[in-house]
Chain A
Amino acid sequence: MSKQFQFKLVLLGESAVGKSSLVLRFVKGQFDDYRESTIGAAFLTQTVNLEDGTTVKFEIWDTAGQERYKSLAPMYYRNANCAVVVYDITQSASLEKARNWIRELQRQADPSIVIALCGNKSDLAARRQVTQEEAQKYAQEEGLMWAETSAKSGEGVTDIFTRIAKKLPTTAPPASRSGPGRAGTTAGRTGVDLNKQQRSITSGDQCNC
């Protein structure tokens, strides 16, 4: 029987590095040169099917612009299983910002979080300011996954999300369902989904083994 997992993925990185574009490419296969700066949705979902039959569903949270004046709420990081920290390979300052976000994640997020550092806009390699060696070295030092991507051409996008999907089930407990329930703990079992009314909350993990 195939295994199914659902994970919360948060996006981080300086404004205009292409966080939303990366997700839109991954989720919808689209790219828009002139898109506005926020996605306009609570979160997007996309499922990755792995070769061994495992399906990994990502619940992808965009910053909704709240990173711009350093006003991301703690709620954003809660129970995040993985984070994609994006920088722009044509802006060396954006890698510095990415380092800050990674420090913030290491401070705020669950210690088991999987972090991928992602150098976006690889189609603009002619204007490159961040070398692959520099970014890769940093990623290795911090134990991060690393890739270069182009949301515009699609290069590397599916690949990095697939790599995250492969790494996740082995390192993090699966989320029981959308929302912050932690499967296996009392809290995960008794979390209430406000969108599901019921007379009894005994359904879920407890019944029909």
Chain B
Amino acid sequence: MNATAYELLSAIAKYWFIALALFILARMVLSVTREIRIERQVQAEIGQAGTGINATLVLLSDEDRKIKRGKRYAVQGETTVGRAGRCDVTLRAHSLERVHCILNMERDGMSVVPVGRAFVVVDGQVVQRRATAQEGSEIQMGGLVFRLCLEETNDAE
């Protein structure tokens, strides 16, 4: 093919490529923003219905008697429990570490992982690295004792 003819072809084609690229970008931005809006909506619906909550901790007793007995705390997916405000469940109790333990939903129950040397007892056993709590288990963190209530699981259709 003639070199000049190719040059002309390419010089025209460059506008085609620019148009396509801009089209791709515009559609992409449009679709992604719409997708994000849908995702937000899904999150909102889950939050409203409370189906994101996998388990509930019910407070049985508090050493300091500051927090009222029977108070409920929701566990949603991975949840950190501790004294610090940045935890998902914040408990203002002196017997707790800043970040005391990490709770996580697994297939066979709720895993409990103490952070550092935090004092955690599940069903009478002091937890060293990791323990799995079941429906009705008693979990003690510092001076606080909870009972675990697992919610209806996702698989129960």
- Do A and B belong to a common assembly? no
- A positions within 8 Å CB-CB of B: none
